[in-house]
C-alpha cells in the first residue's frame, strides 16, 4: 500500500509498505478520505512531543472496514465509518467518565500510532473499545464524513459557551473551524454573528458561512466596532479560533457582562499572555478552553452531517490524491480555502 510518511520536519515522503496485519482485536480500515487539520500543519512544521519520526500523521478519517479480528463486535466488513481522533486508555478517571479526549495518556491516531495519510490504517483495540467509530448514512460521502472529527471539536466547544436565542456571537478567525463555528452558531439561534478576519478571501468565506458582519482588524478597531453593533453592551459569546495572544486579550473587552468566551486555538509556542483579569471578575465572564471532543460530541457531529443540518460541502474547498499530500499541506498553509481533503482511492 501507499502511505505518506512524515520523516522529519517538512518532509512528507510517499512510501510503499506492506498492508499491515491485524490482531484478533483490531480493524483494518481502507481510508477513503482524510482531512488536513491545523494540528497536522503544526506537526509538519514544528514536530510534536507526541510524534516520533517517521510517522504517518492524520486523524480526520473516513473509510470502509475491510478486515476485522475475530474478537471485534458491533462492526462488519463493508461498514462505512468515520472516526474520532482520541485513543482513550479506558482506565483513567477521565476515560471512566466517558471523557476519553481528556485521557491522561493523551494518545491519538496519527500521533503515537500511524494515521490516515495512507491507503489503509489499523484501528487498535483501545480505540475500538473506547474511542469513536461511527457508521455513516449511505447518502453521506466519505469526503463530507471526514469532517466529523473537526466538527465534533466545534460542537464540544459550543457546549461550553452555549449559544442562546438572540445572542450576538463574535468568531475570531474564519478558517475551516471558524466557518464551522459561524454556521453552527447561526443554526443554534445566534441573532448576529460577527467574524473578525484579516485575509480578504477568508472574509468572503465568513460571509458565505453565515456571518452577518465581518470586521477587518486592519481597517477598523474591533473593540469599537463590536460595542457599536451591540449598543455598547458587548457580545454574549466570543469564540477564538485564531492563534494570536492579542485577540485573547481583546476578547475580554468585547464580551458583554456575564458573557461566555471560548479559547479554542492553541498558541504556536507556549507563551505567557497577560490578561486583564478585572474584566473576568467585574463583568462576571466565563472563560473556557476546549480541546478535542468526547465520543458523545462525535456522535452528534455525525448526526449533523448525515442530516445535512448545515451545508457541510461548503467547508471542503480542495481535494487531492494521496501522492499530492505535500501539495495539500502547502495549500492549507497558504490559507487559500478552507478544508483540504485527500482521497487515497479516487
Our finding on whether 37 is near Zn ion (CB under 5 A) is yes
The only residue of 103, 226, 238, 262 in contact with Zn ion, by rule CB under 5 A: 103
Task: Considering the complex, state which of residue 177 and residue 254 has its C-beta at the smaller distance from Zn ion.
Answer: 177
Q: How many CB atoms lie within 10 A of CB 264?
A: 25
Task: Considering the complex, state which of residue 132 and residue 168 has its C-beta at the smaller distance from Zn ion.
Answer: 132
Q: How many CB atoms lie within 10 A of CB 9?
A: 11
Our finding on whether 51 is near Zn ion (CB under 5 A) is no
Cα separation, 140 vs 80, in Å, equals: 9
Smallest separation (angstroms) from Zn ion to the CB of 96: 8
Cα separation, 112 vs 147, in Å, equals: 22
Smallest separation (angstroms) from Zn ion to the CB of 346: 21
Task: Considering the complex, state which of residue 51 and residue 89 has its C-beta at the smaller distance from Zn ion.
Answer: 89
3-state helix, strand, coil in the chain (%, to 5): 35, 25, 40
Our finding on whether 92 is near Zn ion (CB under 5 A) is yes
Our finding on whether 1 is near Zn ion (CB under 5 A) is no
The only residue of 5, 68, 95, 235 in contact with Zn ion, by rule CB under 5 A: 95
Our finding on whether 14 is near Zn ion (CB under 5 A) is no
Of the candidate spans 52-60, 118-126, 176-184, 285-293, the one that interacts with Zn ion by CB under 5 A turns out to be 52-60
Task: Considering the complex, state which of residue 116 and residue 234 has its C-beta at the smaller distance from Zn ion.
Answer: 116
Smallest separation (angstroms) from Zn ion to the CB of 272: 26
E-strand stretches of the chain: 2-8, 11-16, 27-35, 60-68, 80-83, 120-123, 133-135, 168-172, 192-196, 213-215, 235-240, 255-263, 286-289, 316-320, 339-342
Beta bridge partners of 171: 195, 239
Assess whether the previous peptide bond of 205 is cis (omega < 30° from 0): no
Smallest separation (angstroms) from Zn ion to the CB of 268: 16
Task: Considering the complex, state which of residue 7 and residue 98 has its C-beta at the smaller distance from Zn ion.
Answer: 98
Task: Considering the complex, state which of residue 259 and residue 292 has its C-beta at the smaller distance from Zn ion.
Answer: 292
Smallest separation (angstroms) from Zn ion to the CB of 20: 23
DSSP string, 245-307: HHHHHHHHHHEEEEEEEEE-SPPSS-------HHHHHHTT-EEEE--S--HHHHHHHHHHHHH
Smallest separation (angstroms) from Zn ion to the CB of 303: 19
The only residue of 14, 19, 51, 89 in contact with Zn ion, by rule CB under 5 A: 89
Mode of pairing for the β-strands spanning 11-16 and 60-68: unpaired
How many alpha carbons lie under 13 Å from residue 45 in its C-beta half-sphere? 11
Contact (Cβ atoms closer than 8 angstroms) between residue 277 and residue 297 = no
The residue assigned the cell 487559500 is 336
Cα separation, 268 vs 266, in Å, equals: 6
Cα separation, 310 vs 186, in Å, equals: 10
Smallest separation (angstroms) from Zn ion to the CB of 2: 22
Task: Considering the complex, state which of residue 194 and residue 242 has its C-beta at the smaller distance from Zn ion.
Answer: 242
Task: Considering the complex, state which of residue 291 and residue 324 has its C-beta at the smaller distance from Zn ion.
Answer: 291
Per-residue interface string for the shown chain with Zn ion, residues 153-192, x marking contact by CB under 5 A: ----------------------------------------
Backbone angles phi, psi at 234, to 5 degrees: 95, 175
Task: State the number of binding residues for Zn ion (CB under 5 A).
Answer: 8
Looking at residues 117 to 156 of the shown chain, list those that interact with Zn ion (rule: CB under 5 A).
Answer: 150
Our finding on whether 22 is near Zn ion (CB under 5 A) is no
Of the candidate spans 87-95, 163-171, 275-283, 335-343, the one that interacts with Zn ion by CB under 5 A turns out to be 87-95
Mode of pairing for the β-strands spanning 192-196 and 213-215: parallel
Our finding on whether 316 is near Zn ion (CB under 5 A) is no
Residue numbers at the binding site for Zn ion (CB under 5 A): 37, 60, 88-89, 92, 95, 103, 150
Amino acid at each position: 500500500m501507499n502511505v505518506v510518511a512524515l520523516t522529519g520536519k517538512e518532509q512528507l515522503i510517499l512510501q510503499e509498505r506492506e498492508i499491515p496485519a491485524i490482531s484478533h482485536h483490531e480493524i483494518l480500515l481502507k481510508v477513503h478520505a482524510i482531512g488536513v487539520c491545523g494540528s497536522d500543519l503544526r506537526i509538519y512544521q514544528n514536530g510534536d512531543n507526541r510524534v516520533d519520526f517517521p510517522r504517518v500523521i492524520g486523524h480526520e478519517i473516513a473509510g470502509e472496514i475491510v478486515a476485522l479480528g475475530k474478537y471485534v463486535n458491533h462492526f462488519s466488513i463493508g461498514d462505512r465509518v468515520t472516526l474520532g481522533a482520541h485513543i482513550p486508555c479506558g482506565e483513567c478517571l477521565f476515560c471512566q467518565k466517558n471523557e476519553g479526549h481528556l485521557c491522561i495518556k493523551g494518545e491519538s491516531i496519527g500521533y503515537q500510532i500511524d494515521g490516515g495519510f495512507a491507503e489503509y490504517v489499523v484501528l487498535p483495540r483501545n480505540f475500538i473499545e473506547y474511542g469513536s467509530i461511527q457508521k455513516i448514512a449511505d447518502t453521506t460521502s466519505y469526503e463530507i464524513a471526514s469532517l466529523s472529527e473537526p466538527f465534533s471539536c466545534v460542537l464540544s466547544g459550543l457546549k461550553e459557551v452555549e449559544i442562546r436565542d438572540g445572542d450576538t456571537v463574535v468568531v475570531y478567525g474564519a478558517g475551516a473551524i471558524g466557518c464551522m463555528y459561524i454556521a453552527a452558531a447561526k443554526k443554534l439561534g445566534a441573532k448576529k454573528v460577527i467574524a473578525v478576519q484579516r485575509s480578504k478571501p477568508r472574509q468572503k468565506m465568513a460571509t458565505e458561512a453565515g456571518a452577518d458582519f465581518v470586521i477587518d482588524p486592519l481597517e477598523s478597531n474591533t473593540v469599537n466596532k463590536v460595542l457599536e453593533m451591540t449598543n455598547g453592551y458587548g457580545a454574549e459569546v466570543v469564540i477564538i479560533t485564531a492563534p494570536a495572544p492579542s485577540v485573547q486579550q481583546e476578547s475580554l473587552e468585547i464580551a458583554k457582562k456575564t458573557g461566555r468566551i471560548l479559547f479554542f486555538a492553541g498558541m504556536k509556542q507556549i507563551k505567557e499572555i497577560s490578561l486583564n483579569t478585572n474584566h473576568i471578575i467585574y463583568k462576571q465572564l466565563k472563560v473556557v478552553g476546549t480541546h478535542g471532543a468526547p465520543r458523545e460530541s462525535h456522535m452528534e457531529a455525525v448526526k449533523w452531517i448525515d442530516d445535512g443540518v448545515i451545508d457541510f460541502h461548503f467547508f471542503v474547498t480542495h481535494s487531492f490524491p494521496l501522492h499530492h499530500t505535500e501539495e495539500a499541506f502547502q495549500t492549507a498553509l497558504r490559507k487559500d480555502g478552507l478544508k483540504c481533503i485527500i482521497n487515497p482511492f479516487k
